[in-house]
Amino acid sequence: MASRYDRAITVFSPDGHLFQVEYAQEAVKKGSTAVGIRGTNIVVLGVEKKSVAKLQDERTVRKICALDDHVCMAFAVLTIFIGLTADARVVINRARVECQSHKLTVEDPVTVEYITRFIATLKQKYTQSNGRRPFGISALIVGFDDDGIPRLYQTDPSGTYHAWKANAIGRSAKTVREFLEKNYTEDAIASDNEAIKLAIKALLEVVQSGGKNIELAIIRRNQPLKMFSAKEVELYVTEIEREKEEAEKKKSKKPV
Amino acid sequence: MKRQLTCLSGQFWLWPSFSVASLLPHQTPVTNSWLASSKLHSAPGMALQDVCKWQSPDTQGPSPHLPQAGGWAVPRGCDPQTFLQIHGPRLAHGTTTLAFRFRHGVIAAADTRSSCGSYVACPASCKVIPVHQHLLGTTSGTSADCATWYRVLQRELRLRELREGQLPSVASAAKLLSAMMSRYRGLDLCVATALCGWDRSGPMLFYVYSDGTRLQGDIFSVGSGSPYAYGVLDRGYRYDMSTQEAYALARCAVAHATHRDAYSGGSVDLFHVRESGWEHVSRSDACVLYSGVTEAPGARARGGCQPCPS
């Protein structure tokens, strides 16, 4: 039944599915896992980095991108796209142009919600035209607005977007989301360091080889965005492992 | 990427080409939508002509003075600028409007005489137009142009407020207005306006002119009476004035201008934009105000003529 209604993007199936869009969502599930966390004064984006081939230049493999960076106000919008890398590149380019056009027409930098809505509208357009396929990407978009409130949005190939406190996309997104649902508490995000650790812990659930396969970026309120180097991520990972050991020691001592 | 860089009103041109093209009887629906969808990605404007090669018999191409974005068709032999220069009415932009910002908000004041040459078309017009709760515009130039463009600005700001959940800043409003008007540069629009508002960054004042000039400042006066008003304003302006001092300064400046400028007169309107919104403070007759201002004992001491040494 599905095969009769999934060839063209602009055709609904009798039970109301747009199969091409759903297949695009499947494409996203093949991408690496990414997690986004909205703290009180910080937003964190982390992504699993696939191991780089020996001859490949590691510095050029970056998944987290800045969409806009307002120099005077230390404002930035960070994003990560999971799914088809080439699609991601095209959408990032359009979003960056839109950020600057907005500044040109309206003098103010974009709000995170505005640029998310732009990306989502763009994705939706491609689900409703003939001759084109949907973008096979989901995005996590984080940033601070003028009013200093941190925001995290997620978009998917169908063009819907929602605001989240914490979310994950890509392979094993379900596992990570369940972990976040259990562990995202007011205490967990109380300090910036705790929020960063929560993001790393969430990724460590699914990432095989630990710290060197995690890429992390944060924005603190009123500060420029910061991309973590592998060493800094390692520091956090060792701290997390130490805390885990101490917690286990405490647990094993209890029955005595 | 060129189309991405056109401002909002540039996008508007793409949609008419889509819908009108789909109504053409000679083309099959498939080719139609293909052409239309490819039109969405090509240069804006002139899409109708491209698709069906139709040219109105008594029009000519756009004159070199006209902006490219519109794709205008004008009557043959007619270049609007030269036409207006020869045949148009002599529009003297007679008015005095002023605006200045200070600690407690922005004051906007204007006279009320609408003149058309030496004929007073209306002695009691209102030259300060509210745009929304926290934004006023003083108008000078052609009244019709000012009224129209303010309505367009109101619409733009309202749409943006609905989409974004908050009103755009005064800087945004000024940018939008100047961008909209600069697309008609060379077509003899005349709008010289000061946008006075209170937004997230406090009291703000912008001067916008129809050739696209957009300036931020603390004091602006526009119109034929502005030199006289500037004299009084520059003398008495301080950022830390009290509200009453500001009212007195504004009234005094417009009154002096109406006294000396033939094209300003009638009454003096005074508006104040505070944090809570704009407020119409008073409308007082210009002559009464002027005599009140010059007879006050302080006025003579402050700015009256010194007797000649004999």
* CB-defined contacts A:B, below 8 A: 38
**Closest Cβ opposite residue B171 in set A107, A113, A130:** A107
Measured in angstroms, the CA of A234 and the nearest CA of chain B are apart by 40
- B8 at the A interface (CB within 8 A)? yes
Q: Residue A82: enclosing H or E segment and its boundaries?
A: strand A75-83
Helix (H, G, I), strand (E, B) or coil at B152: helix
Q: Is the Cβ pair A108, B5 closer than 8 Å?
A: no
Q: Which of B5, B160, B165 sits opposite A101 (nearest CB)?
A: B5
- Residue contact A111–B164, C-beta within 8 A: yes
Contact B172 A98 (CB under 8 A): no
Q: Is the pLDDT of residue B165 over 70?
A: yes
pLDDT of residue A246: 92
Banded model confidence at residue A221, pLDDT cuts 50, 70, 90? confident
Cβ pair A106:B172 closer than 8 A: yes
B10 — pLDDT class (breaks 50, 70, 90)? very low
pLDDT > 50? residue B11: no
Q: What does the pLDDT average to over A81-92? A: 90
- CB within 8 Å of chain A, chain B residues 194-233: 200
Which of these is catalytic: B28, B82, B95, B96?
B95
B124 contacts chain A (CB < 8 A): no
- pLDDT(B29) > 70: no
pLDDT higher than 60, residue B32: no
Question: Which of A243 and B54 is assigned the larger pLDDT?
Answer: A243
Report which of B177, B185, B190, B188 is spatially closest to residue B93, judged by C-alpha positions.
B190
Residues of A in contact with B200 (CB under 8 A): 146
Mean pLDDT calculated for residue range A16-42: 91
Report CA dihedral (B233, B238, B242, B243) to the nearest 10 degrees.
40
Interface touch A105/B7, C-beta < 8 Å: yes
More confident residue, A64 or B298: A64
A72 close to B (CB below 8 A): no
**Which chain B residue has the Cα nearest residue A147?**
B200
- Where does the pLDDT of residue B110 fall: very low under 50, low under 70, confident under 90, or very high at 90 and above? very high
pLDDT tens digits along A124-177: 999 988 888 899 999 999 998 888 889 999 999 999 999 999 999 999 999 999
pLDDT of res. B294 = 83
Q: Can you say whether the dihedral through the CA atoms of B35, B36, B38, B42 is positive or negative? A: positive
Q: Name residue, tokens 């009180």.
A: A40
Please give the Cα distance from A83 to A156 (Å, whole number). 10
Q: Which of A97, A107, A113 sits opposite B4 (nearest CB)?
A: A97
CB spacing of A107 vs B175 below 8 angstroms: yes
Higher pLDDT residue, B207 or B49?
B207
CA distance A101 to chain B (A): 6
Pick the range with the lowest mean pLDDT from B69-73, B260-264, B276-280. Answer: B69-73
pLDDT of residue B93: 65
DSSP A137-151: EEEEEEEE-TT--EE
Kindly state the average pLDDT of the residues A200-207.
90
Mean pLDDT, range A72-93, rounded to an integer: 82
pTM of the full predicted structure? Answer: 0.74
- Give the SS3 label for residue A195: helix
Q: Is B95 a catalytic site residue? A: yes
Reply yes or no on whether the pLDDT at B77 is more than 80: no
CB of A108 within 8 Å of any CB in chain B? yes
- Residue B1: list chain A partners with CB under 8 A: 97
Closest residue in chain B to residue A129, using alpha carbons only:
B37
pLDDT number for residue B189: 86
For residue B213, the distance in angstroms to the closest alpha carbon of chain A comes to 14
Report, as an integer, the average pLDDT of B2-23: 41
B129-146 pLDDT per residue, tens? 999 999 999 999 888 889
Mean of the per-residue pLDDT values for chain B? 77
In 3-state terms, what secondary structure has residue A153? Answer: strand
Q: Which of A98, A106, A129 sits opposite B37 (nearest CB)?
A: A129
Interface test mutation site (partner A, options B2, B3, B5, max chain A beta carbons within 10 A): B5
On whether any CB of chain A is under 8 Å from the CB of B43, the answer is: no
Residue by residue, what is the 3-state secondary structure of chain A?
Answer: CHHHHCCCCCCCCCCCCCHHHHHHHHHHHCCCCEEEEECCCEEEEEEECCCCCCCCCHHHCCCEEEEEEECCCCEEEEEEEEECHHHHHHHHHHHHHHHHHHHHHHCCCCCHHHHHHHHHHHHHHCCCCCCCCCCCEEEEEEEECCCCCEEEEEECCCCCEEECCEEEECCCHHHHHHHHHHHCCCCCCCCHHHHHHHHHHHHHCCCCCHHHHEEEEEEECCCCCEECCHHHHHHHHHHHHHHHHHHHHHHHHCCC
Of all residues in chain B, the one with the smallest CA distance to A96 is B4
What does the block give as tokens for B210? Answer: 């129809």
User: What pLDDT shows up at residue A163?
Assistant: 95
CB contact under 8 A, A106 and B176: yes
Give the minimum alpha-carbon distance from B91 to chain A in angstroms, rounded to a whole number: 31
Residue B43 scores a pLDDT above 50: no
Is the pLDDT reported for residue B269 higher than 50?
A: yes
Say if CB B217 and CB B89 are below 8 A apart: no
